[in-house]
Chains A and B, each alone.
Chain A
Amino acid sequence: MTEPVLSIRNLTVEIPTRRGLFKPVQNVSYDIHPGEIRGVVGESGAGKSMTGNAVIGLLDDPARVASGEIWLKGRRIDNLSTEEKRAIRGSEIGMIFQDPLTSLNPLFTIGEQLVETIQLHLKVSAAEAKERALALLDRVSIPDPKTRFDQYPHQFSGGMRQRVVIALALCSEPSVIVADEPTTALDVSIQAQVLDLIKELASETQVGVILVTHDMGVIADTTEQVTVMYSGEVVENGPTDKVLSAPEHEYTKSLISAVPRPQVKLHRFPQVSYGGRETTFKIQDLARNWHKPEPSKSGKLVEVKGITKTFLEKSALLPSRRTYFTAVDNVSFDIKDGEVFGLVGESGSGKSTVARMIGTLLPVDAGQIQFDGDDVTAMSAADMANYRKQIQMIFQDPFSSLNPRMKVESIVAEPLIHHKLLPPDQISGRVHELLDRVGLTRAAAAKYPHEFSGGQRQRISIARALATQPRFLICDEPTSALDVSIQAQILNILKDLQEHLGLTMLFISHDLPVVRQMCDRVGVMKQGQLIEVQDTEALFANPEQDYTAQLLDLMPRLAQLSG
């Protein structure tokens, strides 16, 4: 075994707060060898980014390294002065951050930024620096580097920008690169390219990479060694294959068990709970107080016929000068009674726009949406009120979907009060029942949303959506903002509800393994068009379109995981 290029020994980071010392990182140790990619994985708040920041000396005030050592190529770097740390950062340690948009200066061309960085670290002439910059752009597979050299960051796509950031990190020929969630802001297809690039670079230039991520798929695909962190501590450390296939620690087991399987459809998400923050509860008798939805007249509850939505892209006084962007282009599909219909696609493919049009949050430009035979786009006010009672929506971001100034009780009660579904004296009882149903206690009713975690908020959202006893539920990326173990809980709740209440669902996601677990039929969207609709199993087995095949191909391989 070669000497490690970077080793972290018993690192503890502390943040003094008015309620005492808070230690987001405790006693963390790991090594990175040349050419090795070490994944650091854990849920939000596990301290994985904080460790990375400590290594590059970029801890935000008032956080500080309390104890422990960081060695870079045999030199201790955690106790250096700010000045010395800055010299090391960028020259010896490169950085890649999550958002490529903010890590490049929009006012300078890509070339200027590269040349400046190169000249800062290496003593070379301007011409030589430019030559190196062009070589680097070529190295990170930017097509036509000569033209691109003089362009500004806004002329690059997200994936290209992240390549440029990688090129910047390579400028000084560092021995270690800290990549903090480098692909989280990118679509799957671009994510795969960027990860491949990082892998190639590691093996060719022998740079050691710390890859911080929450995504088990990325870990499985990219890394050789993995460190699993849980609430500031390292719980498991070892070769990726071994940790994923035969995890030793209970937390690692629970984390891996919660990752949705792309290969097989399971009845529910397996869960191993860990860490004392979970408790068990029994699902209430869901059918009580619930009118079984009546079957629709045609057997198809929702029929979408050729809907189109265009947005104004550039405003102008003269109509002929205005330009429009077609977000949803002539999309048609139908959803049968009691079915879970999935819509997948990359960001910007128009899936959320479809959901919002069905939810009457956006007007439809052309086409029809029929709900149980009635045209939603041309309804009288009374019919519309009735329609709204029968549909509900669960949103992506649990932090913005609940009014922060309203108590949970008022939030869940709002649909009941608005539609006058219950006499006032029964509302509180129904709210408690709904909260029970989604696994929250009655005490939750008197609290404000900020007192709850993301997963708990999403449960409140579900309780609100169930208040009117809807026939149709629209879920717009309901779990993409959640940690993987919480995601499994929420998806299980949705599955149970769907099964016991006979709900019909539109389930929107970019996460194919999740879609496979949840949906009966799936539609694939690409640039505003619905290019393929198939039964889930058929779609995963034999995709008709090349694009679908490509998407399926990019699903992270978790072959090591036992089903």
Chain B
Amino acid sequence: MTDQPISAPKEPQSVTPSRLRRALDSDFYYAFRHSPVAMVSAAVSILLILSAVFAPLIATTNPFDPTTLNLMNGFTPPMTPNAFTGETFLMGTDDQGRDVFSTILYGMRISLFVGFAAVLFAVVLGIFLGLLAGYFGGWTDSVIMRAADVQLTFPSILVAMLIFGIAKGITPVEHRDQMAIWVLILAIGLSDWVQFARVVRGATLVEKNKDYVSAARLIGRRPSAIMIRHILPNILSPVLVIATISLALAIIAEATLSFLGVGAPPTQPSLGTLIRIGQGYLFSGEWWILFFPACTLLALALSVNMLGDWLRDVLNPRLK
């Protein structure tokens, strides 16, 4: 009996190709190579992010080092030699003679940092609460999701302003400028967690009824282990998609807050702060102080958003 052969499917003898080879061969990369929109927006996003990261190397001046500033350079138009100093600036200078190109690079650092950190904060909070709500259900679910519903009844920018206002009120005056960035991250992150929690909850409801979760429960794994080790890896792809789109929205939210004067302080200007500063000079003819930061913000938000849209179509073909 024991040695009677029974048949089993043969496994193909495959040699495991290298990680890079497999990545280049994947359907994901294939879809990427065949989508001009995806390639252009990825290229623009990466270019902008890299130039922000390496701003100190690329920027011609450090616009926040007062010793490098020359007031005589103020209001120099782009690509035109300054009447007094003869210096030429790619994108001109602002009222204090700061190179607009350099301020944009440094401003983008703040914008991107706030954007990434706020989305990260929202993702972590949203995943945590969404997993709890979806996995345990019952009153845990009710409390979390009703809180989410209540928050959704206010426009998120309003929520962010409210949180920003409260946080600013309780920070001591002398730390306000340093704390502003962190308060901004907290405000945008808190106003953004709801959509992550909702998606995670929905996906968790689906996954928790699958038999691999039953199998883990049968073994006796604790709920925390099941949520983190089993469910979480299987719900990350929709989260990744929303996070990308959210990044664009967070950058815009930050710019909006800064434009309204409640965000990044003038000592650490973000793109939004630069637009606010430039706005004052638009009708007096110094258009470049507004124009270039605004274009940069547009390119950044648009490319990240389009990348997110494409990612959604690829990872979830049914939504197309």
Mark A residues whose CB is within 8 Å of B. Answer: 18, 268, 271, 273, 276-283, 285-286, 356, 359-361, 384-385, 388, 391-393, 395-397, 400-406, 414-415, 418-419, 439-441, 443-444, 446, 453, 455-456, 459, 461, 464, 468, 489, 492-493, 496, 499-500
Residue of B nearest to A397 (CB): B211
> How many interface residues does B have (CB within 8 Å)?
29
**Cβ-defined contact, A400 with B9, below 8 A:** no
**Cβ-defined contact, A401 with B6, below 8 A:** no
Asked if B1 is at the interface of the complex by the 8 Å CB criterion, the answer is: yes
**Cβ-defined contact, A492 with B10, below 8 A:** no
Residues of B within 8 A of A282 (CB): 2-3, 5
Residues of A within 8 A of B211 (CB): 395-397, 400-401
Residues of A within 8 A of B13 (CB): 443
Mark B residues whose CB is within 8 Å of A. Answer: 1-11, 13-14, 16, 30, 210-212, 214-221, 230, 233-234
Residue of B nearest to A281 (CB): B8
Q: How far is the CB of B236 from chain A (nearest CB, A)?
A: 9
Bound: A468/B30 CA distance, A: 43
Bound: A403/B5 CA distance, A: 30
Please tell me which one of the listed residues A278, A393, A396 contacts residue B9 in the complex, with CB atoms under 8 A apart. Answer: A278
**Cβ-defined contact, B219 with A419, below 8 A:** yes
- Additional A-B contacts beyond A361-B218, A401-B210, A403-B230 (5; CB < 8 A): A278-B10, A279-B7, A283-B2, A402-B212, A414-B221
**Cβ-defined contact, B215 with A280, below 8 A:** no
**Cβ-defined contact, B6 with A280, below 8 A:** yes
**Cβ-defined contact, A440 with B219, below 8 A:** no
Question: 17 A-B pairs, CB-CB below 8 angstroms?
Answer: A283-B6, A359-B218, A393-B215, A393-B218, A397-B211, A401-B210, A401-B212, A404-B234, A406-B230, A418-B221, A453-B9, A455-B9, A456-B11, A489-B7, A496-B1, A496-B2, A499-B1
Bound: A393/B217 CA distance, A: 11
Residues of B within 8 A of A419 (CB): 219-220
**Cβ-defined contact, A414 with B11, below 8 A:** no
Bound: A360/B211 CA distance, A: 14
**Cβ-defined contact, B215 with A277, below 8 A:** no
Bound: A117/B67 CA distance, A: 84
Residue of A nearest to B219 (CB): A415
**Cβ-defined contact, B8 with A440, below 8 A:** yes
User: Given A278-B10, A414-B219, does the pair A283, B16 have CB atoms closer than 8 Å?
Assistant: no
Residue of B nearest to A287 (CB): B2
User: Given A414-B216, A414-B219, A418-B220, does the pair A279, B10 have CB atoms closer than 8 Å?
Assistant: yes
**Cβ-defined contact, A281 with B6, below 8 A:** yes
Bound: A282/B7 CA distance, A: 9
Bound: A285/B1 CA distance, A: 12
Residue of B nearest to A468 (CB): B219
Which of B4, B6, B9, B230 has the most chain A CB atoms closer than 10 A to its own CB?
A: B6
Residue of A nearest to B234 (CB): A405
User: Given A403-B230, A446-B16, does the pair A271, B220 have CB atoms closer than 8 Å?
Assistant: no
Please tell me which one of the listed residues B8, B215, B230, B233 contacts residue A395 in the complex, with CB atoms under 8 A apart. Answer: B215
Residues of B within 8 A of A499 (CB): 1
Residue of B nearest to A384 (CB): B220
Q: How far is the CB of B8 from chain A (nearest CB, A)?
A: 3
Bound: A406/B212 CA distance, A: 11
User: Given A283-B3, A283-B6, A400-B210, does the pair A18, B220 have CB atoms closer than 8 Å?
Assistant: no
**Cβ-defined contact, B8 with A278, below 8 A:** yes
Bound: A282/B4 CA distance, A: 7
Q: How far is the CB of B201 from chain A (nearest CB, A)?
A: 18
Bound: A286/B2 CA distance, A: 9
**Cβ-defined contact, A388 with B212, below 8 A:** no
- 8 smallest CB-CB distances across A and B, nearest first, come from A439-B8, A401-B211, A280-B5, A405-B233, A278-B7, A395-B211, A400-B210, A388-B220
Residue of A nearest to B233 (CB): A405
Please tell me which one of the listed residues A391, A439, A446, A455 contacts residue B218 in the complex, with CB atoms under 8 A apart. Answer: A391
Residues of B within 8 A of A489 (CB): 6-8
Bound: A404/B231 CA distance, A: 10
Residues of A within 8 A of B220 (CB): 384-385, 388, 418-419
Q: How far is the CB of A454 from chain B (nearest CB, A)?
A: 10
Q: How far is the CB of B137 from chain A (nearest CB, A)?
A: 12
Bound: A276/B7 CA distance, A: 11
Residues of B within 8 A of A406 (CB): 230, 233
Residues of A within 8 A of B9 (CB): 277-279, 453, 455-456
Q: How far is the CB of B223 from chain A (nearest CB, A)?
A: 13
Bound: A400/B234 CA distance, A: 12
